[in-house]
Amino acid sequence: MTLQTELMVALKEAEPEIIKLRRMLHAHPEVSFHEEETAKIIKSFYRRNGMQTVNYGDGYGFVVDINSGKPGKRLALRADFDALAVQEDNDLPFKSQNPGVMHACGHDGHTAYLMILARELYKRRNQLSGMVRILHQPAEEVSPGGAKSMIKDGVLDGIDNVLGAHVMSSMPTRSFNYHLAETQTGRANFTLIFTGRGGHASMPHLANDAIVAGSYFVTALQTVVSRRIDPFDTASVTIGSFDGVGSFNAIKQSVTLKGDVRIMKETTRKTIRTQIEQLVHGVEVMFGVTAKLDYDDNYPVLYNDPDFTKAVVASVKKAKLASVTAITDCGPQDPSEDFAYYAQERPSAFIYIGCDVADGKSHPHHSSSFMMDESCLLTAAQVMGTATLVYLGV
């Protein structure tokens, strides 16, 4: 039996354990930068299996190194383990036990399959060459993300390439999906406060209405993408919050707006920020208000190295895994991902495993009804395991 076959059989036999781990993590979620107990659970698993963990970053991130003791390439496999501030609506026996917190993006599944894959690779470390770094990362969901501090702390020192995977409820279950080059959007967020002068609604001439100023800004903002961005580029600007709550007969002194920016080229990032700053200044002058803009340029565009990604795809195609139903170039994806920081530092690939639930309903990521078909987790483990073995030249 080849090592490839041996590993695939071991992962198939461990599928119930992967699902059990995922459900346990799902029932006990923790939000970004607060994943203390989650990290303890994962580390305990590795200790029981004779594996050591090493902390990285200023959060709860850590790694497990699988050293063959022989020269060769060095690959990092990354999974994130934070949850979201979402109240779960699903009626499941393993429903979230933490009010207002839910694994609504699949990070529990990412963690579970990688834990088992790491254990099985560790058992066979003497048959490998090079090294595999299992990278468990917290705080993917919230800027500045968990990746940055781990990278700053040296988590990629000596690493040649990084490979990550994400389950996707918008893709057919057990499909393996990929894209080359620019693959996920870059992101920025901003908070904007306009301050005027409050007053009585019957005497608007004695006041300076911040709601009018904010409303004009929202309307003018729509021209940034439609008139300042090349139609062949991808960009979006959204105002997700306009907090101007007050009384029906009072002119509001101050309003707070929160916005989201998505781009597919880093050159577009600067254009949008410049245009927003100019609009803010124009509103100040036009309406006689003052503005405070807090602009956070955070996650970069996620760039999949074409050569490395093609090699990953080729290895999975050649393996003809029974757990993979289709292999598809899914095209660019709308969400942003802090895996992009790893991809800035090392040639990387971020791939997708379909997990669509076959009930005919929509279960989108970040929603209170997010669900996954758990058969995707074996697919993820086998795809990542296959790519790892081929990468190491086994």
Read off the tokens for 118: 């790491």
Residue 73 CB coordination number (10 Å): 14
**Which of 35, 108, 120, 140 is an active site residue?**
140
Q: What angle (nearest 5°) sits at the alpha carbon of residue 156, between those of residues 151 and 162? A: 110
Q: Which two tokens stand for residue 58?
A: 């200023």
**Residue among 388, 328, 333 at smallest CA distance from 187:** 333
Distance CA(142)–CA(189), nearest Å, equals 11
Integer CA distances (angstroms), 71 to 126, 132, 267, 288, 376, in order: 12, 12, 40, 67, 33
Backbone angles phi, psi at 332, to 5 degrees: -65, 150
Q: Are 39 and 28 in contact (CB under 8 A)?
A: no
Antiparallel, parallel or unpaired: β 175-178 and 348-354: antiparallel
Q: How far is CA 149 from the centre of its chain?
A: 16
Q: Does the annotation mark 82 as catalytic?
A: yes
Catalytic choice (65, 80, 82, 297): 82
The token pair at 101 is 């917190």
Spatial distance between the Cα atoms of 189 and 12, rounded to a whole number of angstroms: 42
181 beta partners: 304
d(CA 236, CA 259): 10
Cα–Cα distance, 14 to 126 (Å, whole number): 21
Three-state DSSP at 243 gives strand
SS3 at position 311: helix
Residues catalogued as catalytic: 82, 140
